[in-house]
Amino acid sequence: MNPTDFFPHLDAFQIEIPSWGFADTGTRFGKFTQDAAASTVEEKLEDAGLVNRLTGACPTVAVHVLWDFKPGTDPQQTARIAAQNGVKIGSINPNLFQDQGYKFGSLASPIQSARDEAHAHVLQCIEIGQATGSDLLSFWLADGTNYPGQDDIIARKKRLETALKSAHDAMPASMTMLVEYKPFEPAFYHTDLADWGMAAFMCQKAGPRAKVLVDTGHHLPGANIEHIVAFLIDENLLGGFHFNDRKYADDDLTLGSIDPYGVFRIFHEIRNAARRGVDVSQIAYMIDQSHNLKPKLEAMLQTVVTAQELYLKACLVDRDKLAEFQAKTDIVGAEETLRAAFYADVKPILSAWRESKGLPLDPLKTLRESDEIARRAQVRPQGRKERGEVAGGGYA
C-alpha cells in the first residue's frame, strides 16, 4: 500500500465548516461563554480560515443568514472577507425558526403572513447565494406542532410542497437545494419533515435540483443511518451531510466522539456506491456542531481530522475481497474485511498527504502550541463590550 495512492481521495474529501460552530452557544438552560469565541461574521471567517490553513480540507464556510447577514450587510463584502481569510462562502442556511412570526411554523404555517415572510426570506437567501458565489441553499424547517389536533397535517404538507417548489423555481440553474429532516425539536408532537422519506418525497416534488440532507444527529435512537445513505444514493437523492455525533438526540457532539464505527459505515456505503460507478463527487460534506463546552477551534479541528481519518479507513476497504466473501455468503469474512479497514492506522497516510501539501503534520497540536486562541481571548471580549453585546440565547 503506497500512501500516495490515497492522496486523490484526500484531495477530493473537502468538508464544510459552519460559521455558528465558532460562536458562543449553550443549551436551553444556559450559555457558557468563552473569551475566544467569535461573535461577528468577520471573526467567524477568521476562525474558519485558520481551520482551513491548518487542515487544507475546509475551503468553504456554511452561513446562517440571520446570524451572519444582519440587515444592511453587503453579501459581496462578506464574500471578500471570506476570500481574505482564504475561504469561500458555502451553503446558505435560511433561518426559518427564530422570528416571532414563526411561532406556528414558517413555510407550513397556517398563517399566511408567516408563510409570506418565510418565502421572502428564502428569496433573499437565494440572492445572498448569488452575490457570494454559493450554489447550495440548505433548508432546515423547525415546522411542526406540539399537540394532537393543533393543525391539519395534510394541509401543512401541501403548503410545504408548494413553498419548496416555488423556492426551487426561484433558484438559478447552478444552485442545489438541500432539504434536512429531523424527528423532533423544537416541535414535540409532529414535525413536518420528520424523516428521510418525507424529505425525499418533498425533494421529488420540488424539482431535480432538490436533494436530501442527512444530519447524523437527526434520527431516533437505533436508526441505521448508513442504510438510509445507501438508499438515497441509489435513488440519486443524497445531497449531503451535516456531521456531528450524538448519544441521545441532536446532541451536537464532535464527530466520532461516541460512535466512530457508525461514521465509518456511512463512508463505507459512499465508497461502495463509488465502486459501483455512481458519481459521488457532488455529495456535500458539512459539519453541523455547536460546541458548548469545548474550545471551538480545537473541537472543529478534532472533527475535521476525525472525518478525514474515518473517510480514509473507508477508502481502505478491500472491495474485491469483500465482494468475494459476500458472493460466498461468508458473513465473518465480509465483516472482518470491514473491521480490518476500520482498525487500520491511517495516520501515516494522512501525515504523508499533509507533508506533500506543506500542512502541519498534526493540526491540533500545532494549534494548541500556538497563541491563536490566547490572542483571540485577549482581543474579542473588548470588541463585544464596545458593540454592547450581552450573553444570551442563540448563536449570534
Per CB under 5 A, contacts with Mn ion among 219-258 are: 242
**Cβ of 274: how many Cβ atoms within 10 Å?**
18
User: Could you say which of Mn ion, ligand PSV, none residue 143 binds, taking C-beta under 5 to 8 angstroms by partner kind?
Assistant: none
Residue-wise DSSP of 26-58 = EETTEE---TT-B-SHHHHHHHHHHHHHHHS--
Q: Does 271 bind Mn ion (CB under 5 A)?
A: no
| Residue entry with cell 465508497 | 271
CB of 28 to ligand PSV, least distance (A): 13
Pick between residue 219 and residue 271 the one whose CB is nearest to ligand PSV: 219
Q: Does 219 bind ligand PSV (CB under 6 A)?
A: no
Residue in 24, 43, 47, 288 binding Mn ion, rule: CB under 5 A: 288
Q: Choose among 205, 225, 223: nearest CA to 265.
A: 225
| Residues paired with 245 in a beta bridge | 253
Q: Does 143 bind ligand PSV (CB under 6 A)?
A: no
User: Could you say which of Mn ion, ligand PSV, none residue 250 binds, taking C-beta under 5 to 8 angstroms by partner kind?
Assistant: ligand PSV
CB of 194 to Mn ion, least distance (A): 14
Q: Which stretch binds Mn ion (CB under 5 A): 160-168, 214-222, 314-322, 377-385?
A: 214-222
Pick between residue 181 and residue 353 the one whose CB is nearest to ligand PSV: 181
| H or E segment and range at residue 115 | helix 112-132
Q: Does 288 bind ligand PSV (CB under 6 A)?
A: yes
Burial class (CB in 10 A: 0-12, 13-18, 19+), 256: buried
Pick between residue 159 and residue 246 the one whose CB is nearest to ligand PSV: 246
**What secondary structure letter does DSSP report for 102?**
G
**Which residue lies nearest ligand PSV, judged by its C-beta?**
140
Task: Say how far apart CA 36 and CA 380 lie, in whole Å.
Answer: 6
Query: Is the separation of the CB atoms in 18 and 286 below 8 Å?
Result: yes
Residue 343 phi, psi (nearest 5): -90, 0
Binding site for Mn ion (CB under 5 A): 215, 242, 288
Binding site for ligand PSV (CB under 6 A): 20, 93, 140, 180, 182, 215, 242, 250, 288
